[in-house]
Amino acid sequence: MKKIVLAGGTGFVGQYLEQKFTDQGYKVIIISRQSGHLNWSNHTGIVHALEGAEMVVNLAGKSVNCRYTEANKREIFDSRMETTEALGTAILNCDNPPPLWINSSTATIYRHAEDRPMTEASGEFGSGFSVEVGKAWEQALFSFNLPTTRQVALRLSIVLGKGGGVMTPYENMVRFGLGGKQGNGKQMFSWIHLEDVYRIILFVRDHNQISGVLNTTSPEPVTNRELMKQLRMAMNRKVGLPASKWMLNMGAVMIGTEPELILKSRWILPERLEQFDFHFNYPTLDKALENILNQ
């Protein structure tokens, strides 16, 4: 049986990937800290799981949807570094290592951009905690010299899918009349449909010439104003109250998150995927929302 190792596969994206790969006839081995899964402390077990696997996909890391207290920042950072280093060390100890290691990264590695889009070739890194996490995460991946294992970092933008992730709070905002622009509404919103994340993983698997970093985002980002407009249209809500920056700052404290998640302008394009002729099933937001909200 074909085998794939899914590290940190218990979240919104991981559960979807587990189901898709299982449906394709794969044996899916999940590494996590939850009972019933292969534990991160079991180095020998991880090596055994990786032996002969077709690929390993690492999604592990504490959610950034929290307040950036010192304790949370340390956990966000350590949960990414330690799991990535554990996988690299285990691959080095394999007799028959997986030919492909796909590791999560973040599109937030780029700076706040309202002037031009960021690509892998011409994008500029930003500053601050989230950026430093992204840079260290990728450095941890590419620090391993693995002659028979391709290493790919997916710079994931915001993932949209049915039944979880960011769609739940966005749907609630629109449903309760708060679906207007947030801040000045000019900040760019780069996103990708959950199904296309899975399809990109398959695409990378099937194209041996792909390695390094990939902007994992749709080719049609929108402004926050347009995002909220399309959400209202898709949900048949004509009116949505806007939220000013000070309201978002106050609200973020109340619900235990950071306003950066909404106010940072993420203008990112999938230049390398398009150069490799990857075809998106959901290139535009209207098609994505139609699929997610009307299934």
What is the DSSP secondary structure assignment for residue 111, as one 8-state letter? P
The mean pLDDT of 268-274, rounded to a whole number, is 98
Task: Quote the pLDDT of residue 156.
Answer: 97
Pairing state of beta strands 222-223 and 188-189?
A: antiparallel
Question: Residues 78-107: what's their mean pLDDT?
Answer: 97
CB 75 within 8 A of CB 62: yes
C-alpha to C-alpha distances, 129 to 74, 99, 116, nearest whole angstrom: 10, 32, 22
pTM of the model: 0.94
Q: Which of 73-87, 127-141, 169-183, 222-236 has the lowest mean pLDDT?
A: 169-183
How confident is the model over 176-223, as pLDDT tens digits? 888 899 889 999 999 999 999 999 999 999 999 999 999 999 999 999
Provide the pLDDT for residue 22: 97
Tens of pLDDT, residues 214-266 = 999 999 999 999 999 999 999 999 888 888 887 777 766 666 767 778 889 99
Residue 52 has what pLDDT?
A: 97
| 3-165+192-217+268-281 CATH fold | Rossmann fold (3.40.50)
Query: Residue 84: CA atoms inside 13 Å, Cβ hemisphere, count?
Result: 28
- Kind and range of the H or E run holding 50: helix 43-50
**What is the distance between the terminal CA atoms of the chain, rounded to a whole angstrom?**
32
Amino acid identity, residue 262?
A: I
- Write down the mean pLDDT value for the chain: 93
**Domain boundaries in the chain?**
3-165+192-217+268-281
pLDDT at 139 > cutoff 60 = yes
At residue 123 the predicted structure's pLDDT band, cuts being 50, 70 and 90, is very high
Asked if residue 90 lies in contact with residue 46, where contact means CB atoms within 8 angstroms, the answer is yes
The token pair that represents 293 in the structure block: 């909200």
The whole-angstrom separation of Cα 118 and Cα 107 is 9
